[in-house]
Amino acid sequence: MPEDVSISVSGVSHPVLCGTCKQPIAFIGEPDADSGEAGCVACGNVANGQEVARTAVDYAKDEGQLIVNRAMRDAARGSKIMSFNGQTAHDKHHRFSVDLKL
């Protein structure tokens, strides 16, 4: 059975998802993050383990910033003296994402 791919954020493991079909991805062949491949066999979104990790970490950083931005937007929404003009949604496609369950 293929081993699912996950990343750890603050000591909590989160599954890496296919950016196309949003399904959990798995290692293809031997589970080796350095030299193996991982991805979604169903839709063909496959990459080497290092690219998957890099893309998933980029997504997690982007999503973390968006969570902070949404909180700031919501705080400013009810204020007469504060406003917020930052980004609150992803503006680029991520080949792999992370289910942060936040």
Which residues in 12-40 are b (16+ Cβ under 10 Å) and which e?
eebbbbbbbeeeebbbbeeeeeeebebbb
Top pLDDT among 59 and 33 is at 59
Span 9-34, average pLDDT: 86
| Span 43-68, pLDDT tens digits | 999 999 899 999 999 999 999 899 99
Span 84-94, average pLDDT: 87
pTM beyond 0.85, yes or no: no
101, two tokens: 């369950």
Contact at 8 Å (CB) between 96 and 56?
yes
84, two tokens: 């917020």
* 47 phi-psi bin (left φ>0, alpha ψ -120 to 50, beta other): beta
Q: Which pLDDT band holds residue 35 (cuts at 50, 70, 90)?
A: confident
